[in-house]
């Protein structure tokens, strides 16, 4: 649809509008009671969430790509139907294809409490089947208020079982990574990708002082990010998830990424709501799985 078509069908006076953004990608601007957000229809990706009177909770690289076939560095990319490298070793893109395809607007609504809901959809077609040979219906419910709620809903619309891993790959903005801690993972086992996949056990809060890429398992429903550099605490609440990923590229890897400034690693931390590692989801025909994340200041 054109921006004019989207506006006629889905705009909400004073609450939701459409515009052309970087790379001529269509953006949705949401203003709700309690906060505002920006969503890219390309990738179905929340790029910004700002509670009223506060600064952005999400990190978005100033050098991000806005182009077909490229992932947008920051916000909440959707990794689906697999997280990480191609699980079958067929050379398919890392983190699947949902983060590099256009999504459709299915519904917009202002809720009775002043929050605004946006429902996006991604359906299978010949292109997706050529990459992943399964029938599915994928939806994303995004609710903006004083917190941000994102739900990724997968339905198996085919005739055979399929198994997936997935992530809401959230980039959080922090004041200083060396003054940031993640609480709630004490005692959890994690797969340390920086140590060749060795399984370790977290002791105390997670502090980042070098490149980190970890899949935590058996995770609780609530994690917190203590962002001392901005004197705030961000709560990350999840449902439908038994794992979480913590990632920071640190200096050398950040320098090697053209869509990330060399010192951006100091201003970001990924705390991802996932079904990853051993936390896989198998859906029989007709079954539905809902992965949910709620972000708010604590």
Domain-embedded: residue 110: yes
The catalytic residue among 169, 211, 226, 292 is 169
- 223 belongs to a structural domain: no
Does a structural domain hold residue 190? Answer: no
pTM for the model: 0.97
Q: CA-CA distances (angstroms) from residue 105 to 39, 40, 56, 134, 288?
A: 11, 11, 24, 22, 20
Q: Which residues contact 158 (CB under 8 A, 6 or more apart)?
A: 134, 135, 136, 285
Establish if 219 belongs to a structural domain: no
Please tell me the predicted confidence (pLDDT) of residue 59: 98
- Asked whether residue 224 is domain-assigned, the answer is no
Per the annotation, the verdict on 141 as an active-site residue is no
> How many domains, the chain?
1
Considering the candidates 95, 134, 237, 272, report the single residue annotated as catalytic: 272
What per-residue string of b and e applies to 122-137 under the rule 16 or more CB within 10 Å gives b? bebeeebeebbebbbe
Where the chain has pLDDT below 50, the residues are none
Q: Is there a domain that residue 58 lies in?
A: yes
- C-alpha dist (Å) from residue 261 to 176, 191, 256, 257: 15, 27, 9, 8
pLDDT at 173 (0 to 100)? 98
In this structure, what CATH number is given to the domain that contains residue 252? Answer: 2.70.98.10
* DSSP three-state, residue 121: strand
Whether 22 maps to a domain, the answer reads yes
- Give a yes or no: residue 99 inside a domain: yes
Residue 91's domain comprises 3-174+248-269+279-297
Annotated active-site residue 169? The verdict is yes
């Amino acid at each position: 649809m054109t921006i004019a078509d989207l506006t006629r069908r889905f705009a909400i006076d004073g609450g939701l509008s459409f515009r052309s953004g970087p790379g001529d990608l269509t953006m949705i601007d949401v203003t709700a009671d309690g906060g505002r957000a920006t969503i890219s229809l390309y990738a179905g990706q929340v790029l910004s969430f700002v509670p009223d009177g506060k600064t952005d909770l999400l990190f978005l690289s100033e050098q991000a790509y806005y182009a077909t076939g490229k992932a947008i560095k920051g916000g909440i990319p959707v990794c689906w139907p697999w997280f990480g490298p191609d699980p079958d070793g067929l050379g398919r893109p890392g983190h699947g294809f949902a983060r590099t395809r256009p999504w459709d607007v299915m519904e917009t609504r202002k809720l009775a409490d002043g929050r605004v809901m946006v429902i996006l959809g991604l359906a299978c077609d010949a292109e997706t089947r050529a990459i992943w040979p399964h029938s599915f219906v994928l939806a994303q419910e995004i609710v903006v208020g004083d917190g941000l709620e994102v739900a990724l809903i997968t339905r198996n619309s085919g005739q055979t079982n399929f198994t997936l891993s997935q992530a809401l790959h959230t980039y959080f903005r922090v004041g200083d990574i060396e003054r940031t801690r993640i609480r709630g993972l004490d005692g959890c086992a994690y797969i340390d990708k920086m140590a060749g996949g060795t399984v370790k056990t977290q002791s105390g809060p997670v502090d980042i002082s070098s490149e980190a890429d970890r899949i935590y398992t058996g995770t609780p429903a609530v994690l917190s990010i203590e962002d001392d550099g901005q004197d705030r605490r961000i709560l990350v609440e999840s449902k439908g998830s038994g794992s979480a990923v913590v990632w920071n590229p640190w200096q050398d890897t950040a320098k090697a990424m053209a869509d990330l400034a060399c010192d951006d690693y100091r201003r970001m931390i990924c705390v991802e709501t996932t079904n990853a590692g051993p936390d896989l989801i198998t859906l029989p025909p007709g079954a539905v799985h809902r992965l949910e994340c709620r972000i708010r200041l604590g």
